[in-house]
Chain A
Amino acid sequence: MCKLSCAYNGHMIELTYNPIDISRLLEVVSNPACGAEVLFVGTTRQWTSHPHASGDRTVETSHLVYEAYEEMAISQLQALADQARSQWPVQAVAIVHRLGKVLPMEASVAIAVGCPHRAEAFEAAQWLIDSIKHDVPIWKQEHYVQPAGATPVSAEWIHPTSGSCHCESEHTDQISQLPQQAPRLQRETKSTQSQQMQQQ
């Protein structure tokens, strides 16, 4: 199978084993009612710094392998796109996530949101990526560059502990109790969220 996709309720939701065509996402969300299209691209990081008591340790990633519970991932992504549209004046959402092997600097995920104005587009895009990182059944296996002369580092599946995320949104740890919970980003934090998004 090459890709799993759907055009659903005006959204484009896709899981693909091929490189993501970023420009296509912007085409999908472009709309005469929109004055703002926000595109978020999550890329595979080559160098990651881990805090250690004896000083930060930097590891080099050779590649990632993504795996999904595909049918549930698609249905969760649809639900998130719908939720974004009910919470903000979102005209269209496009989400594409890579599966299989992804090399450093390649896009792992891309999200595009089209809205009448920029503040709500930044907010909705940020909420979507934060929610994907918590609620969509996709996992990465990290493969490391082997350090010369040192003990080999084996590949590992990443299963984050709660609180270790880098989200701006507030998340509850008990989402299993609330399968259809409302978006967690508060509107009063709007200006801060938009600024942070622009700085990334």
Chain B
Amino acid sequence: MQLEIQFFAGAAEIVGARSIELTVPDGSCLREAIAKIVAAYPNLDALAARSRWAVANQFVDGNFEFFGRSAKLAMIPPVSGG
């Protein structure tokens, strides 16, 4: 399946893009998707390890399973608003 991953702030700076597309096996969980993202962008490893992830505006955990032919995912590095 096709995953669209959105990046913000320091993560977007490391990746050099606001979003990327990645193909992952159907039925992949978030943990597997993160491993694939970090393999593609090794410099993202340290920040990814302390980031949260969101699907449809909700934080999801590593066991979250993607379904369908395509899905959107956002990497949420530690926030600093306020």
Spell out A's residues near B (CB within 8 Å): 42, 66-69, 71-73, 75-76, 97, 108-109, 129, 132-141, 156-162, 175-177, 179
A interface SS class: mixed
For the complex, what is the distance from the CA of A58 to the CA of B79, rounded to whole Å? 23
Given that A72-B54, A75-B57 are known contacts, is A108 also in contact with B10, CB under 8 Å in the complex?
Answer: no
Q: Apart from A140-B81, A176-B61, what 4 extra A-B contacts exist at CB < 8 Å?
A: A137-B54, A137-B76, A159-B77, A161-B78
Inter-subunit contact A160/B61 (CB<8 Å) = no
Inter-subunit contact A69/B82 (CB<8 Å) = no
| Contact among B58, B60, B76, B80 for A160, CB-based, below 8 A | B80
Closest CB of chain B to A98's CB: distance in Å?
Answer: 9
Interface string of B16-60 (1 = CB under 8 A from A): 000000000000000000000000000000010010111001111
What are 28 pairs between A and B in contact, CB < 8 Å? A42-B82, A67-B8, A71-B57, A72-B54, A76-B57, A97-B81, A97-B82, A108-B82, A109-B82, A133-B80, A133-B82, A137-B8, A138-B80, A138-B81, A139-B8, A139-B9, A139-B10, A139-B80, A140-B80, A157-B9, A157-B77, A157-B80, A158-B80, A159-B50, A159-B77, A161-B50, A161-B78, A176-B52
On chain A, the residues within 8 Å of B79 by CB distance are 133-139, 160
For the complex, what is the distance from the CA of A73 to the CA of B74, rounded to whole Å? 12
Given that A42-B82, A129-B82 are known contacts, is A159 also in contact with B76, CB under 8 Å in the complex?
Answer: no
Closest CB of chain A to B2's CB: distance in Å?
Answer: 20
Number of A-B pairs whose CB atoms are under 8 Å? Answer: 88
On chain A, the residues within 8 Å of B4 by CB distance are none
Inter-subunit contact B82/A160 (CB<8 Å) = no
Closest CB of chain A to B19's CB: distance in Å?
Answer: 11
For the complex, what is the distance from the CA of A167 to the CA of B57, rounded to whole Å? 24
On chain A, the residues within 8 Å of B58 by CB distance are 179
B65 within 8 A of A: no
For the complex, what is the distance from the CA of A69 to the CA of B47, rounded to whole Å? 17
Q: Which B residue's beta carbon lies closest to that of A108? A: B82
Closest CB of chain B to A8's CB: distance in Å?
Answer: 14
Inter-subunit contact A72/B50 (CB<8 Å) = no
Inter-subunit contact B81/A69 (CB<8 Å) = no
For the complex, what is the distance from the CA of A138 to the CA of B9, rounded to whole Å? 9
For the complex, what is the distance from the CA of A175 to the CA of B58, rounded to whole Å? 11
On chain A, the residues within 8 Å of B54 by CB distance are 69, 72, 137
Given that A109-B82, A140-B81 are known contacts, is A157 also in contact with B10, CB under 8 Å in the complex?
Answer: yes
